Amino acid sequence: MDKRINKMISLSFDLKTVGYGGYFILLAFAATIIFHLMLMGGSATKYISLQTTVFIISVVGVLVWILPAYVEVVKPESKELILSLPIDGLTFGFLRMVRLFALYTVFVLTLLFVVYVIGNENRLEYGIVEVFLISGAVFFISGLGMTVFLISKNLVIGYGIPILWVSISFFYRGGASWLWHTCHWINPNPFETSFKYAITHWIGGLVLYIFSAYIIKQRKYLIR
């Protein structure tokens, strides 16, 4: 019984938990691409604007992609059932989050690559370091969202704090984001390197993922 419960939850089930939020994110991507490529005409900065908008949607969208999968753990229909299940923090928490993150990020990076290929000379650089930086930013924000959501046990706060972090990072150019300037790719801090921010985002994200997996094991706290 324990082994069956602690097996990785099927991907098809996780995709269902994304619900309408996932469709909204896909619609936002589609609307952004259509607006920039069909309605902005020959604007000199349309590809930079497209890359910027796709990135912002991406770092916000990962929250919609991952957080709903854990709502049932925080607000279960049956508290007794959740307490009785031998939920494993590794498979149910860490590995499940990593799988959702990886699937989402591959799609985002592919989309950004397509935008880069079809763009002109007025576009943001998109090489190996940038891929490392962008995926690290998404990883960090998803970990931050999960940690805040599990601690607060409030989905709105789980969305709100990371979105606020991204906003501060963008508008203050990393000035109030310490080592985690999430928007460095689209609004770089001229005094720091992309590689440095990529490393700190991956390390920070990993710590947050591990901490989230630990919290998931504390079921009595989660359903209190």
Q: Walk along the chain (224 residues) and give the pLDDT tens digit of each residue.
A: 344 445 678 888 888 888 889 889 999 999 999 999 988 877 889 999 999 999 999 999 999 999 998 988 887 666 666 666 667 778 888 999 999 999 999 999 999 999 999 999 999 999 999 999 999 999 999 999 999 999 999 999 999 999 999 999 999 999 888 899 999 999 999 999 999 999 999 999 999 999 999 998 887 777 77
**Residue 140 and residue 206 in contact, taking contact as beta carbons nearer than 8 Å:** no
Q: Please work out, in degrees rounded to the nearest 5, the angle formed at the alpha carbon of residue 156 by the alpha carbons of 60 and 221.
A: 115
Predicted local confidence at residue 14, as pLDDT: 87
pLDDT at 196 (0 to 100): 97
- pLDDT at residue 86, as a whole number: 62
Number of domains in the chain: 1
- Confidence at residue 98, expressed as pLDDT on a 0 to 100 scale: 96
Rounded distance between C-alpha atoms, residue 8 and residue 206, angstroms: 19
Spatial neighbors of 131 by CB under 8 A, at least 6 apart, are 109
C-alpha distances (whole Å) from 21 to each of 62, 64, 107, 155, 218 are 10, 6, 16, 13, 27
- Structural domain containing residue 106: 2-222
122 is written with which tokens? 């007025």
> In this structure, are residues 6 and 87 in contact, taking their beta carbons and an 8 Å threshold?
yes
pLDDT at residue 78, rounded to an integer = 60
Residue 75: predicted pLDDT: 75
